[in-house]
Amino acid sequence: MALSVTFYACKKDAMSSGSIVSNGAVSITSIVQSKFLSAVTISTSGSGSSSSITLKSNGLPDHKTPYWGSGNVLYEPFPSGHAPNVNTDMTAQTYAMTIPTNPAEASSKEATSLGEIGMALNGVPLFNDREGGNVSLDAMTLTTFDYSGAHPAPRKNYHYHTTGRYTSVDDAKLIGFLRDGFPIYGRKDTTGVYPTLDAYGGHFGPTQDFQAGIYHYHSSNVNYLNTGYYILKAGSYYGTKGTFTN
């Protein structure tokens, strides 16, 4: 059963309206260290409320995609009717994402922008529902996606826009973390239901990784343009974003 916001209204960190405030009491450090793949290097710095985690990766996927190119052991064809975009291949990057060890709700919510808004557990960047020119993903753009809902950008930087075969498919899997430090999961909660989400695409409650509860995002449960793809994240961050450099 999905936990509702009002269920937790009696907690000491709840606002008078009954909505939950994540006050930074939950550390994500041990989960980040145990869940990210070995291709991602992890370091911590600082102490107390100013402590942070930095994750570094080359951004290349650890799974099959046509963007590896034919002849590569990880090559697989495009989904039927799909073809590469003008960026036909991908190359290694030098990503570094720094996030708080104890993410907290931001007093003023900031919209996600074009580019990297988070990192998947394999080190591949997560993008929102927008494309070049800051326009919504359209049906033509989606035909450049592989089975993971991904493609390269002009810098040949491969990235995910949606859930897919190698990240999450109609489940409760941990996909990664956004730049504000909060985790993002698949479409379902741990109980197997589709949770009711707030305006930021998340809610407070237990997950398989944070059993005492944490604010966390879920990918959208809307079949985007009836394509079978489900957007990872749209709209604003719940917390204060950290840095993401390349």
pLDDT tens for each residue of 138-148 = 999 999 999 99
Residues in the chain predicted with pLDDT less than 70, given as ranges, are 1-22
What pLDDT, on a 0 to 100 scale, did the predictor assign at position 22? 66
In this prediction the pTM is: 0.90
What pLDDT, on a 0 to 100 scale, did the predictor assign at position 23? 75
Q: At which residue do the structure tokens 């309206």 appear?
A: 17
What pLDDT, on a 0 to 100 scale, did the predictor assign at position 2? 40
What pLDDT, on a 0 to 100 scale, did the predictor assign at position 11? 35
Residues 150-206: pLDDT tens digits?
999 999 999 999 999 999 999 999 999 999 999 999 999 999 999 999 999 999 999
What pLDDT, on a 0 to 100 scale, did the predictor assign at position 241? 96
CB 163 within 8 A of CB 175: yes
